[in-house]
């Protein structure tokens, strides 16, 4: 698996989103532990460990995807790397709305096509 990035701020943003997603899932698991611990014990005592495994995997995958979406809509908006790159590397004043509209110019996933 390769992480594609177009500039340093984009790389920092992607690592921050990945790490932040893991932290949100871990915090959610900690908050849900009063509910999940008795459920886990009940399922394991009835020889239904496979249901617990499915629930754990579903929470991990679904929670991570949800956490990335949540972070993208709150503290790590998708226009942020473009804003930082244009503002501090290209030394151009830009608004967040302009950065949102210009983001496609710095998107490395388009296969080199603008």
Alpha-carbon torsion, ordered 68, 20, 38, 62, to 10 deg: 20
Domain span at residue 45 reads 8-78
Q: What pTM did the predictor assign?
A: 0.79
**52 assigned to some structural domain:** yes
Those residues whose C-beta lies under 8 Å from the C-beta of residue 7, and which sit 6 or more positions away, are 81, 85, 89, 106
- For the segment 56-85, the average pLDDT, to the nearest whole number, is 94
User: For the chain, what is the domain count?
Assistant: 1
**3 assigned to some structural domain:** no
Question: Does residue 63 sit in helix, strand or coil?
Answer: helix
**94 assigned to some structural domain:** no
- In the predicted structure, residue 60 carries a pLDDT above the cut 90: yes
Q: What are 22-53's pLDDT values in tens digits?
A: 999 999 999 999 999 999 999 999 999 999 99
> Residue 99: which of 71, 73, 76, 80 has the closest Cα?
80
């Amino acid at each position: 698996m390769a992480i594609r990035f177009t500039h340093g701020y984009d790389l920092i943003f992607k690592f921050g989103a990945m790490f932040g997603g893991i932290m949100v899932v871990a915090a959610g698991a900690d908050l849900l532990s009063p509910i999940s611990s008795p459920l886990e014990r009940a399922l394991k005592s009835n020889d239904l460990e496979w249901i617990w495994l499915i629930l754990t995997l579903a929470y991990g995958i679904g929670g991570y995807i949800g956490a990335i979406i949540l972070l993208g809509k709150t503290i790590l908006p998708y226009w942020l790397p473009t804003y930082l790159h244009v503002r501090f590397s290209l030394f151009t004043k830009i608004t967040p709305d302009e950065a949102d509209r210009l983001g496609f110019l710095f998107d490395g996933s388009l296969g080199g096509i603008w």
